[in-house]
Amino acid sequence: MKPRSLVFDLFGDYLRYRGGEVRLRGLVALMGCFDVPEATVRVVVARMRKEGWLDGRREGRETRYVLTDAAWRLLDDGRARIFARETGPWDGQWHMVIYSVPESERTLREQLRKRLAWLGFGLLSASVWISPHDRVGQVRADFAGHPAIRLDVLRARSEGAAADREMAARSWDLTALDKDYRRLLDHYRPRLAAYRAGELRGREALVERMRLIHDYRMFPFRDPDLPPELLPEGWCGRAAHEVFLEAHGLLRSEAEAYADRLTADPTAT
């Protein structure tokens, strides 16, 4: 786990529920659980402040750190994608975004592509992105201040279920994604018994929970959360999500108790 990502994960999964801020020595103690030295923590904190992700305030001889509003928005967006899944039947309609961006705005075009992918759109053909979910409003809101981008939005139905599945297979690499989900299941499903029995204590529980989050949190960038009728047979994504939620919950009490002790007294073990 990279130190910068670990700082975000600790704020997003723990510190946000403890006032949203932490003393430097408390953060050093938490990062030390992952063998990140104090010098590295200080460098990472300084860089994140410079990049606009962290703010600091003095409290006596100590400094307390809190994420900026931009960082909280990033975490909130990510948390919704990690923990939530679409429910209810699909209405059979595809939401299509066709964009046009001048060649001189390559950076902006790449930002648009990344945002479309993050929101679950798939690339059907050049400049044509589709999703079974109505998230077009989010795309418009994110790029409302960029007149160089032209967005044409359509709603459409295919010729039927077979065509829908074929379009889904073309727009997302579901085979590779399913294989990665299966590997995640193979690793964490056998560990659930130990989690349920409370065998992981203290630092071990905290590290395990953070590694679980780290291993799972990239999947929402790739998974469009398709309705069942668009997924290949034997799809592992929903099962992996259920294992993640169960493991995350089972490790919560012991991991948070240990993190509480560390942030209150960085010398605690």
Predicted confidence at residue 86, as pLDDT, reads 82
Q: What's the CA gap between 72 and 95, in Å, rounded?
A: 28
pLDDT digits (tens, 9 = 90+) for 192-250: 999 999 999 999 999 999 999 999 988 988 899 999 999 999 999 999 999 999 999 99
Does the structure show a pLDDT above 80 at 268? no
Does the structure show a pLDDT above 70 at 81? yes
Which element (helix H / strand E) includes 192? helix 192-196
What sign results for the dihedral spanned by CA atoms 88, 89, 93, 97? positive
Strand partners, 59: 62
Q: Please report, to the nearest 10 degrees, the dihedral formed by the alpha carbons of residues 179, 131, 82, 75 taken in order.
A: 130
Q: What's the CA gap between 264 and 203, in Å, rounded?
A: 15
Predicted confidence at residue 154, as pLDDT, reads 94
Q: What distances in angstroms separate CA 210 from CA 106, 134, 188, 189, one per listed residue?
A: 36, 32, 13, 16
Mean pLDDT score across all residues of the chain: 92
Tell me which residue of 118, 120, 248, 237 sits closest to 180, measured CA to CA.
237
Place of tokens 């690339």: 123
Does the structure show a pLDDT above 90 at 145? no
Task: Over range 255-260, report the average pLDDT.
Answer: 94
Predicted confidence at residue 229, as pLDDT, reads 93
Q: What's the CA gap between 95 and 227, in Å, rounded?
A: 14
pLDDT digits (tens, 9 = 90+) for 24-78: 999 999 999 999 999 999 999 999 999 999 998 887 788 899 999 999 988 888 8
Predicted confidence at residue 269, as pLDDT, reads 59
What the block records as the tokens of 62 is: 């100590």
Does the structure show a pLDDT above 70 at 10? yes
Amino acid at 174: L
What the block records as the tokens of 43 is: 């460098």
**Which residue ranges make up each domain of the chain?**
3-73, 94-156, 173-264
Does the structure show a pLDDT above 90 at 88? no
Residue spans of beta strands (DSSP E) within 115-182: 122-125, 128-131, 150-156
Does the structure show a pLDDT above 90 at 157? yes
Protein fold of 3-73: Arc Repressor Mutant, subunit A (1.10.10)
Protein fold of 94-156: Alpha-Beta Plaits (3.30.70)
- pTM (two decimals): 0.88
What sign results for the dihedral spanned by CA atoms 65, 70, 74, 76? positive
DSSP secondary structure, 237-257, as one string: HHHHHHHHHHHHHHTHHHHHH
Q: What's the CA gap between 148 and 144, in Å, rounded?
A: 10
